[in-house]
Amino acid sequence: MRKSLLLFAIAALSGLIAFIIFPDTTPVSAQGGLTYIALFARYIPSGVEVYETPDKSVGGVHVYVAIDDSVNPASRTGIEIEVPAMAWGGRQKCASNAMCDVPSADTGSKFATFHVLGNQWFYSSAQQHYAMDFETTISDIGYGIKENREFASVESPSIRFLYEPSGPSTYTDEQIPVAFYMYMSNPNSYTAWTSGSVPIQDGSFAVWRYLTVAIGSPVLNTGVSLSVENSDNWLIFIAGALLGIAGGALVGAVQEATSKSSS
């Protein structure tokens, strides 16, 4: 009897330890964030930077756009952002400083257009160029990132630049260098990117660099922490061994109890 109880205890303890140490990290997939941003103006800038950070106070994101140029365009800039239909609290709701175009069909999204006046350009002596910046908060939308200690999934939006030398009636799509900054809890921990492109780490931001495109889709970038992956593989191996011990001990305990009762 004592031997069967010991075997039952070994089975229970081994199974418990295996359950505790077994990794709980699984691959993740980002969705619900910003997917499309368009800029339109009567000048062609030298570069664009877009920052996206979470804003838990409004259940949404904070968006910051910076445009650089070697000369002062002194020109108004339009910024159009595609957002989920229920952003800002409802399908017909919009930011106070924007105009929203809600499609008649239920496409699940709407377009918010902002205008930045030409007198908001300023000269940066440190960078030796002119710049214009814009920021807004979009409430009631998801954040385009999901991450755990092993996996990260980041959705980088498609960004477009329309050059309108004579106004919106005539335009051409221009390829402008873009730097997209996404705030992450620990971007340096993800050492291998298995889809999309490899970002650059800048403090708490992961930075993707690409060109504006006329027609594009958001890109899903997937990162993996190789050190955590290796550690998890060992934990899975150990947990499997412990489950084998637990199974063997349980079988032995049942056999021991059965033989004792039959005798």
Which tens digit of pLDDT belongs to each residue from 134-165? 999 999 998 888 888 788 889 989 999 999 88
Q: Tell me the per-residue pLDDT of 213-260, one tens digit each, with 9 for 90 and over.
A: 887 788 888 888 755 555 555 555 555 665 666 666 555 655 655 665
Distance between CA atoms of residues 223 and 34, nearest Å = 19
Distance between CA atoms of residues 117 and 98, nearest Å = 13
Strand, helix or coil for residue 164: coil
Give the length of the chain: 263
Query: Residue 57, Cα to own-chain centre: how many angstroms?
Result: 18
Span 28-54, average pLDDT: 88
Distance between CA atoms of residues 25 and 19, nearest Å = 13
Q: Which residues contact 221 (CB under 8 A, 6 or more apart)?
A: 153, 154, 155, 156, 193, 195, 196, 197, 199, 208
pLDDT at residue 80 greater than cutoff 50: yes
Q: Band the pLDDT of 21: cuts 50, 70, 90.
A: very low
Burial (0-12, 13-18, 19+ Cβ within 10 Å), 160? buried
pLDDT of residue 99: 93
**Structure-model confidence comparison of residues 243 and 86, the more confident one:** 86
pTM check: above 0.85: no
pLDDT at residue 7 greater than cutoff 80: no
> Kindly report the CA angle at 135 between 119 and 188, in degrees rounded to 5?
130
Instruction: Spell out the domain ranges in the chain.
Output: 2-25+228-262, 36-143+151-224
| Residue owning tokens 């650059």 | 200
Q: Which residues pair with 155 in a beta bridge?
A: 220
